[in-house]
Chain A
Amino acid sequence: MSAVVKVWIDEGCITCDACENICPEVFLVEDDTCIIVDGINPGEWGDDIIEAAEGCPVDVIMYEVADGDAAPPAEDTPAEVVEEVVTAEPEAIGEGALAGVMAGDRDLHILFGSQSGNAESLCSLIAKKATGYGLVGHVHDMDGFDLASMSGMKRVLIACSTWGEGEQPDNAEALFNAAKGAGKTLSNTHFSVCALGDSSYEFYCQSGKEWDEVLAVMGGSRIHDRVDCDVDYDLPAAAWMAEALSRIACVDDSGTFHEDLVAEMIAHAAGDTASASSGDVATVAMPEIQLVANIFRYNADKGETGVDAWACAIPGHHSVLDLLRTLKATQDGTLTFRDGAADDPTTGVSVNGRLVLPGLTRLCDVVRDKGQGSQIRIEPVAAYDVIRDLVVDYSSYDNLRAASKPWFVGRQREGTYVGNVAMGTMDAVVATELHTSNDISSPQLLHATSDTVPYNRLYMGPAMVCHLWNRSCDPRISDSSRTAIIESLAATNGVKSETDMASIHRQGSMGKIAAKSVLQAKTAVLSHDGYNGRHGKHVWWYTWSIKSSGMVNETTLYRTVLGPMGLVNNALSGVSARMIFGFTRTGRPMFNELLGMVAPPAGIGKMPKQFNSSVENHHEVISIFNEMDGRF
């Protein structure tokens, strides 16, 4: 038994659990480090402590033997040093060699060919992760990249999406064409390619495949096999990134690849990437933009509204929030906006009509030049009352949210015994859909995407509709709660109050996710109501009329949905008159074909016809209806 009198953990633990597996009586691995169990007597566990210290991959277990020396294990076995040179040699060489590899030039050049931004985002993530491998990531847009400079690069990673029918993204096309005819210029360059694509297309990941091929033709050394990623690219791209980085990081200053050091590099990175996993994503530096910022101002005390315009020069990759902070600090301290973290959901503003979180929005992505220089228009979010300048009052949203009773009421369900507790389970597909549909960056902004909200302040709004609908789709919810939610969505001021989902759908990915949920909620509510009420009848008879002729029959809609009272109301309010006398405004003939004279007023002026002629091969339409939905 070795006479260990003291044991402690130095900084740098990677929480790999190796020590706890060897001697759980002494070592307890927590979330961020390992600790020594309180009250233990190191002398009782001397051999185990030394074994754990020797097995520690990052040598953070320190101990003190009876003679008083603090010692990591390998250095504290004096009599056996000579004997262990042979066995210790790989480790010794490894340590030294790894340090040697990580000395000198550590630049990693990461190029993106991107149409929708996925490849660009991936490259930013690679640059961030590269620091864990002792690399300095430089992200390059392929557009404008100097191909000649690549010959001097030792490490190159490429992420490239495919556009259209196997075409290069717009920003990659010129560089790729140049690369095809560049000749063997990459004799000292190691590379790997991540191809993004969509397997439903014939030319799946074609652009990435072409880059992989052309870089090899140019003489580059493929350091890791290309990966072809489908629409859900996160997992395969992450796996490729880990492998490619661990290998390309083993390319030294001279451009030599040390394959024997890859395992050590992985271990080394495991210590560093933990700390690199938080913090800001690396940014792609963009050129400075000369712009005019037009910012809405409102001072309630003076009752003044207006727009202040400031001419600025600011890097394109700076955020809208950076711009506001700069203006407040340097131009006008009274400029008022909600400041906070980049993803603070309450900081939303309208930038050139786009609803955004300013901390997550780069200026280069929103600035527009319409021939009068670059402009940016920043306004408060329209759905809310303005308190001052860009600050709005969210209380209307908060009140609607409180009134909707959004809390979760669970039900009892079967669980699975895992270790010492019983946990509920959920189908992976359902869980993924729930996570996706709840991926809303700012409910306050989502509420404002609807063009209905400003004109119907009692409407619960798309954010609440989504929240309630997603909750109703959660398999953990109680049946009574699900029923209550559907009834809440079906009530006056529920989802049927939404007059046009197009305004929601066009607000980026958040809008598309929300529009899908709002649509599903509407479908469920209409079915729940048996297609009664005007909204239900509108949907039902519209669909029915398409089946009956292929074209919408508005006369049917007016008569079945509005009913006699609605038609009288239209007649008294002048709507019918403006329809009938539409020919006086458009100058076209009074009657819309002869049918206008058969069942007037249908067919007169702008009044829709009584009957529609059927589209060609109308029987095909009926067959599709019969297969897809037998209700109509």
Chain B
Amino acid sequence: MVTRYAYHPGNVAHSNAIEVADTMPLAAQSLGIELVPLDGATSCGAGIIRQANADLQVVLNARTLAQAESMGLDIITSCATTAATLHEDLITLRNDSRLMAKANDILQRNCGLTLTGDVNVHHLLHVIVDEIGIDAVKNAVKNTFEFSIAGYYGPNMQQEGACGGDDVFDPDYLEQVIAAVGGQPIEWSSRTQSVGVPGIFSEEKTVMKQTSAVLADAKSEGAQLVVSACNLSHMLLDVYQGKAGKTTGQETKVPTIHLTELLAFAFGHHIDRLAQLRTRVLVIGD
């Protein structure tokens, strides 16, 4: 069975998370998810635009939501921030009829679009567990991950009403996926804790401490690999892990990949990259 969604690639799949753009279509294809491009979709604002003008971010996202609604499709994304931001702004619009009317007035005049609110936003992880089923993941696996893997959620996707059937504070969907691809999910308390992405430019010292704490927790629990369901947090967990460790003196070096990479590699795509990852995990170690 093929399930169709309007695909929003998120904020950074075109730039520092280009590997998400490579692997998301492959993972989706193996799971029977048809991704219909949302070519006109803008960045969700990542909670940054609304610091300048809250209504501006809502109306921008109303445009993206209206595009998906006009296609008769729900939105899927592998970016936790995009999933949460679009969902939050959708709820704001649904609950504020005046703002909805204002957004629709602007959309109709400038884009020829109308939003009724009859659209939903899903993170890939929730689509997999709630819609596709974890058995579909097991059935699609060709290469297993025999590592101890820490699944990182971050706080964005773990919001009331925005995390499917998973528990907001004690989630286990990512652990289910890790187990389905042959990994050993570790239990760690920092998996929904923020690493502070929105503050990386202005509050770097604090953010480095936050990032270090999360990575050190994963390592102390025996993680050989970290899998991030949040594309933005991945940048800190991966690129900044050395700087974070230097800031706090904690042990932070650990290979970190995106959820879409885990899935695509497990499903037999990019076996060269999986081989490279295995070497890094089992031989190099970070």
> Besides A368-B170, A501-B198, A582-B238, 18 other CB < 8 A contacts?
A353-B169, A452-B203, A456-B203, A499-B207, A500-B196, A502-B155, A506-B155, A508-B160, A523-B53, A523-B54, A539-B51, A542-B49, A575-B240, A608-B15, A620-B40, A624-B56, A627-B110, A631-B52
Bound together, the chains give a CA A496 to CA B240 distance in angstroms of 21
A616 touches B53 (CB 8 A): no
Q: Indicate which residue in B12, B155, B207 contacts A503 across the interface (CB closer than 8 Å).
A: B155
Q: Tell me, yes or no, whether A534 is within 8 Å of chain B by CB.
A: yes
A615 touches B206 (CB 8 A): no
Indicate with 1 or 0, residue by residue over B51-86, a CB within 8 angstroms of chain A CB atoms: 111111001100100000000000000000000100
Instruction: Report chain B residues within 8 Å CB of A522.
Output: 51
Interface segment out of the listed A7-15, A213-221, A551-559 = A551-559
Q: Indicate which residue in A377, A499, A501, A632 contacts B203 across the interface (CB closer than 8 Å).
A: A499
Q: Tell me, yes or no, whether A421 is within 8 Å of chain B by CB.
A: no
Given contacts A496-B203, A574-B242, A587-B270, contact A451 B194 (CB under 8 A): yes
Given contacts A200-B97, A588-B273, A606-B18, contact A554 B54 (CB under 8 A): no
Q: Tell me, yes or no, whether B159 is within 8 Å of chain A by CB.
A: yes
Q: Tell me, yes or no, whether A374 is within 8 Å of chain B by CB.
A: no
Which residues in chain A, 535-571, are within 8 Å of chain B measured between CB atoms?
A: 535, 537-540, 542-543, 546, 550-555, 557, 561-562, 570
Which residues in chain A, 164-188, are within 8 Å of chain B measured between CB atoms?
A: 165
Nearest residue in B to A351 (C-beta to C-beta)? B169
Q: What is the distance, in angstroms, from A626's C-beta to the closest C-beta of chain B?
A: 9
Q: Tell me, yes or no, whether B125 is within 8 Å of chain A by CB.
A: no
Q: How many A-B residue pairs have CB under 8 A?
A: 246
Given contacts A519-B51, A542-B49, contact A455 B201 (CB under 8 A): no
Bound together, the chains give a CA A534 to CA B201 distance in angstroms of 6
Bound together, the chains give a CA A587 to CA B261 distance in angstroms of 11
Q: Indicate which residue in B110, B189, B199 contacts A452 across the interface (CB closer than 8 Å).
A: B199
A620 touches B111 (CB 8 A): yes
Instruction: Report chain B residues within 8 Å CB of A574.
Output: 242-243
Instruction: Report chain B residues within 8 Å CB of A258.
Output: none
Number of A interface residues, CB 8 Å? 86
Q: Tell me, yes or no, whether A592 is within 8 Å of chain B by CB.
A: yes
Nearest residue in A to B280 (C-beta to C-beta)? A585
A607 touches B60 (CB 8 A): no
Given contacts A562-B201, A588-B19, A615-B42, contact A451 B11 (CB under 8 A): no
Which residues in chain A, 605-625, are within 8 Å of chain B measured between CB atoms?
A: 606-609, 612, 615-617, 620-621, 623-625
A499 touches B210 (CB 8 A): yes
Q: What is the distance, in angstroms, from A54's C-beta to the closest C-beta of chain B?
A: 53
Q: Indicate which residue in A557, A586, A616, A632 contacts B39 across the interface (CB closer than 8 Å).
A: A616
Nearest residue in B to A625 (C-beta to C-beta)? B56
How extensive is the interface on chain B, given as a class? Answer: 35 or more
Bound together, the chains give a CA A585 to CA B238 distance in angstroms of 10
Bound together, the chains give a CA A464 to CA B276 distance in angstroms of 49
Which residues on B are within 8 Å of A, measured CB to CB?
A: 11-12, 14-19, 22, 39-43, 45-56, 59-60, 63, 84, 88, 94-97, 100, 106, 110-111, 116-118, 154-156, 158-160, 167-170, 172, 189, 192-199, 201-203, 206-207, 209-210, 213, 235, 238-243, 246, 255, 257, 261, 270, 272-273, 276-277, 280
Instruction: Report chain B residues within 8 Å CB of A499.
Output: 194, 196-199, 203, 206-207, 210
Q: What is the distance, in angstroms, from A375's C-beta to the closest C-beta of chain B?
A: 9
Nearest residue in B to A560 (C-beta to C-beta)? B201
Nearest residue in A to B101 (C-beta to C-beta)? A200
B203 touches A523 (CB 8 A): no
Given contacts A533-B202, A540-B52, A582-B239, contact A606 B16 (CB under 8 A): yes
Bound together, the chains give a CA A609 to CA B158 distance in angstroms of 30
Instruction: Report chain B residues within 8 Å CB of A550.
Output: 40-43
